[in-house]
Amino acid sequence: MPYKVTYFNITALAEPIRFLLSYLNIDFEDFRFEREQWPALKPTMPFGKVPVLEIDGKVLNQSTAITRYLSKKAGLAGSDDWLSWADLFFVAILDYLNFMAKIDLLEGRPKLKALKEQVLAVPQIKAWVAKRPADNP
Ligand SMILES: N[C@@H](CCC(=O)N[C@@H](CS)C(=O)NCC(=O)O)C(=O)O
């Protein structure tokens, strides 16, 4: 498979990438590793960090740069009045932010709640969320 996402077995910074690949209907290898595997993998990653996205063996790094690149492919770089890559990024990372903050960051923010519903209703995103591992933030 030409596309491979490498990250810890959580959502966090990789999830916006997974959202965008799903939105683009691109099949990808979702390579997740456990904490114990990280010391061996770290020296092989650019700047010793993940997530990385490989496309045909070419390694891309930095989650914002990766999502910006994919957003251009998806036509979500800003010309669509209804949805942009930043919306996908925000909703994709929200569960992790809530988990870390231990509060619901959308409480009392109906417009952002509506945005979340809008993104989660996109058929490709809905399909991704339904099939991703359920037991990780
Ligand atoms: N600016 C980078 C930050 C990447 C980053 O900090 N990744 C963390 C996981 S969220 C990591 O690789 N931590 C392991 C380590 O630093 O050893 C990005 O947005 O991709």
Asked if residue 12 has its Cβ within 6 Å of ligand 1, the reply is yes
As a whole number, mean pLDDT of residues 57-62 equals 95
Confidence bin at 81 (pLDDT 50/70/90) = low
Q: How many independent structural domains does the chain possess? A: 1
Calculate the average pLDDT of the chain: 93
* Sheet bearing 58-61, strands edge to edge: 29-33, 3-8, 52-55, 58-61
| Among candidate residues 100, 96, 98, 76, the one with its CA nearest the CA of residue 86 | 76
pLDDT of 72 above 90: no
137 is a domain residue:
no
Residue with tokens 């959502």: 11
pLDDT of 79 above 90: no
65 is a domain residue:
yes
pLDDT given at position 80: 66
| Distance between Cα 41 and ligand 1 center (Å) | 13
| C-alpha torsion angle, residues 9, 15, 17, 22 (rounded to 10) | 100
Residue with tokens 């990250």: 7
pLDDT of 82 above 90: no
pLDDT of 1 above 90: no
Q: 3-state DSSP helix/strand/coil percent for the chain, to nearest 5?
A: 55, 15, 30
| C-alpha torsion angle, residues 128, 48, 94, 3 (rounded to 10) | -20
User: Which domain does 35 fall in, by range?
Assistant: 3-131
70 is a domain residue:
yes
13 is a domain residue:
yes
46 is a domain residue:
yes
pLDDT in tens, 20-55: 999 999 999 999 999 999 999 999 999 999 999 999
Asked if residue 49 has its Cβ within 6 Å of ligand 1, the reply is yes
136 is a domain residue:
no
112 is a domain residue:
yes
Q: What is the pTM of this model?
A: 0.80
Closest-CA residue, ligand 1 atom 10, reads 13
67 is a domain residue:
yes
Distances (CA, A) of 41 to 36, 46, 58, 59: 10, 11, 17, 14
Query: What CATH number corresponds to the domain at position 103?
Result: 1.20.1050.130
Q: Given its phi and psi angles, is residue 108 left (phi above 0), alpha (psi -120 to 50 degrees) or beta?
A: left
Q: Lowest-pLDDT range, 23-32, 83-92, 107-116? A: 83-92
Asked if residue 9 has its Cβ within 6 Å of ligand 1, the reply is no
